[in-house]
Amino acid sequence: MKKIVTIVTILVFSVQLAAKEGMWIPMLLNNNIAEMQAMGCELSAEDIYSVNHSSLKDAIVSFGGFCTGEFISSKGLVLTNHHCGYGQIQKQSSMEHNFLKDGFWARSMDEELKNPGLFVEQLVYMEDVTNALVNSGDKFKEIEAALIEAKELDNPNLTYKVVPFFGNNQFFLLATIKYNDVRLVGAPPSSIGKFGADTDNWVFPRHTGDFSLFRVYDENGNAFTPAQHLKVNIAPRTPGEFTMVFGYPGRTQEYLTAVEMDQLVNVENARRVEIRDVLLSIMDSEMRADAEVQLKYSSKYARIANGWKKWIGQIEGVQFSKGLDRKRKLEAEFTARIAADANLWDKYSGLLNEIAVNNTQIAEGQLKRNEFIETIYYGMEWFSLMSQLQRAKSDVDMDVALVEFHQNYSRTVSEKTTAAMLSMALATFPDLLGDMDEATFVSTVHNEIDALVELATKDDSIELTAVAPTASNFNTSAFQAFYTVSPDNALLQKATELSAEYMRALMEVFPERNFYPDANSTLRVTYGKLEGVNPRDAVSYGTTTYLDGAMAKYKPGDYEFDMPAKLIELYDNKDYGQYAENGKLPVCNIASNHTTGGNSGSPVLNARGELIGLNFDRIWEGTMSDVNFDPNICRNIMVDSRYVLFIIDKFAGQQWLIEEMELITH
C-alpha cells in the first residue's frame, strides 16, 4: 500500500509539472496537445508543426545560431531581442553614428543595413532516425553519413544534420534552410532596449524594451516571403491565460544527479562567479570613466555579466528551492523502485554510485580547466586573438582579425584585466611565465599587440612569432597546461555514457512520466500561463509592469537608467496611441514558460498563436531552471508586444513598419 501511494504522488507531481515544465519537440506535440488545449490553447498539433502545410514553425528562425527570431510580416521582417542584435548594432556604430546610444531606424528598405556573416536558419522538417542509429556502435558515422547523403540527393537545397536527444538515446535528422542576407531595420536606443542594464538583468519588475528588427532577403536581393508570419496581438491580457514559447533553447541539464548538480552549481559556478567579480569590476570602472571605452566594451561586458549574474541566481535558487533535496528524493524513489524489481536491480543497482565516483575523479581537472577558461581565455581579451592569428591561413586573414579586434580594444582596460586575471591564473598554472615577472609580461604582451595592429593597418607582412614572441609562447604554453590538467578523455567519455544510461533508466523506472529532452539548440515548444509569483517571503510579482514603473527608476544621465527625452514627453502627455490598457502602457510581463539561453528573442504566443510578447529573460529566483525547474518559482520575462509597437510607432515614428504587420485588437 505504501508503494502505491508513492507512485500516485509521483503521478500527481508529474501532471502538475507537465503544465509548465518541459521543452517539447514540436514534431511530437500529439503527446501534449490535449493538456495544452485543457489549459486554453485553441490550436491543434498540426497548426503548430506540420510538414504538409504551413504552420507556426515556419514563422520561427534561429537568429545567428545563438538566439531566436520570428517573422512578423509577409515581407521577411524579423523581430528579435535588442541584446541578440546588439553585436550587429555595435558593428554598425561609430562615435559619429552611435546606434547603440541613439538607436537606428531605416525609413525604407533602401536604408536597411547589411550585416555580413549574420544569418537566420529555418527548420523545414525533422525525422526520427533512431532505429537506424541506436546500437550501431562503430558504424554510427558511416550510417549517419549515408542518411545525410540520401537526403542531399533527394533535395540538395537543404542542409541536413543528425542530432542526439535524451542523452544519445534518440536521434533525429533535421532538414534546415539558411538565409545569409539579414539587414538591420530598426533598434531603439540602449536607454530603451537595455534599460536597467546589469542592475535589472535577470530580475523583475522589469522595464526593458529589449527588441530589434531585421529583414531577411533572398538570394536575388528581394525581401523574403515566409510561408507563415505571426500576427501581433495588442488586445488586453488576462492573468492566467495560456502562453506558449516557440524557439531554440540552448542547453539545459535537467537530469543531473544530486552529486553532479552540487558540483556544478556550488563548486564550479561559484568559482566562476568569484573570477568574473574581479573582471567585471575593472571593466565597469573603465566604462563609466570613458564614453569611448563604454562603446567598445559594452557588448563584451554584457556577455560576461550575463553568465556571472545567472550563476549567482542559480546558486541561490537551488538553495532556496531545496533543489538538491528534490534530486535526492527522486534518487531515493528510483532506488526503491529498482529494489522491487529484480530485472531493474540487475541493470541499475550500481548506477548512481558509478556516476558519483566518476564525478569525483573528474572534479579537480574540471575546476582547473574552468580556471583556464575564465582567467585566460575569457579574462585576457588578446589571448583568443592570438589563437585566431595562429590559425590564420594568410596575411589577409591576420589583417582582418587584427583590425576587427582593435575596433573594440583599449590597451588600458586590457592591461588592467590581464594583470588581475594573470595573478589568479598563476595560482593554478605557476610555470606559465618562466622567469619573467608579471608586470614585465603584461607590458611586453601589449607592446606586441600594438606592433601587430600597426603592421595590419599598413598591410605589411606579419611573422607572428617574430613580432609577438611573448604572446605567442604564452598562448602555446597556456594551451599545453590546459590539456595537461583537463580531465582524462576516458573519464569524460564514461561520464557521457553514464548520463545516457541514467536517462534510459529514468524513463524505464518511471514509465508514467512524460519526459522531455534537454535543450540542445533545436526548435522546441514550452507552454504555461501568464501568471505572477511569490518567490520568497513577503515578495510578490504581478504579471505586468508599466511605463510608470520605468519612470520611477529614471535617473538622468545614468548609464543604466537614463531615458530618452521623447519617451518622457510621450509619458507626460499619456500619448500611448492604441497600445494602452486602462490608461497605462504595459512594458513587460512574466509567465510560467520553461525557457533558457537561446530562447532570447522567442515569441510568446497566446492561445491562438498570436504574438503577445518577446521573451528575453528569467526572474532572478528562477535562473536555476536549467538544472532544477520549479514551477512555483520559475518565470520567464517578456517585453509586451504593445510596448514594442508603441516604441516603433509613437516613439520612432516608423508607421511604415506597423503597416507591414497584421495587428489583432481582440
Following DSSP, what letter does each residue of 136-148 receive, concatenated? -GGGHHHHHHHHH
Amino acid letter, residue 106: A
DSSP-based three-state secondary structure for 432? coil
H helical segments located in 71-117: 82-92, 99-102
Residues 6+ away with beta carbon under 8 Å from 445: 382, 418, 468, 470, 471, 474
Question: pLDDT tens, 495-529?
Answer: 999 999 999 999 999 999 999 999 999 999 999 99
To the nearest 10°, report the CA torsion of 184, 190, 195, 201: 70
Distance CA 642, CA 648 (A): 10
CA 57 and chain centroid, separation = 19
Positions in the chain short of pLDDT 70 = 1-19
- Count of CA atoms in the C-beta half-sphere (13 A) of 66: 9
Give me 385's grid cell.
Answer: 586573438
- Every domain of the chain and the residues it spans: 1-119+188-254+518-666, 121-179
Global confidence as pTM: 0.88
pLDDT at residue 353 in the model: 98
Which CATH class name applies to 1-119+188-254+518-666?
Answer: mainly beta
Q: Taking the CB of residue 226, how many other CB atoms lie within 10 A of it?
A: 23
Is 210 labeled as catalytic in the residue annotation? yes
Catalytic residue among 600, 602, 625, 641: 600
Is 387 labeled as catalytic in the residue annotation? no
Residues 6+ away with beta carbon under 8 Å from 384: 377
Catalytic residue among 47, 210, 630, 640: 210
pLDDT at residue 306 in the model: 86
Catalytic residue among 55, 73, 82, 83: 83
Is 82 labeled as catalytic in the residue annotation? no
pLDDT at residue 395 in the model: 87
Give me 402's grid cell.
Answer: 587584427
Measured at the CA of 58, the angle between CA 637 and CA 654, to 5 degrees, comes to 60
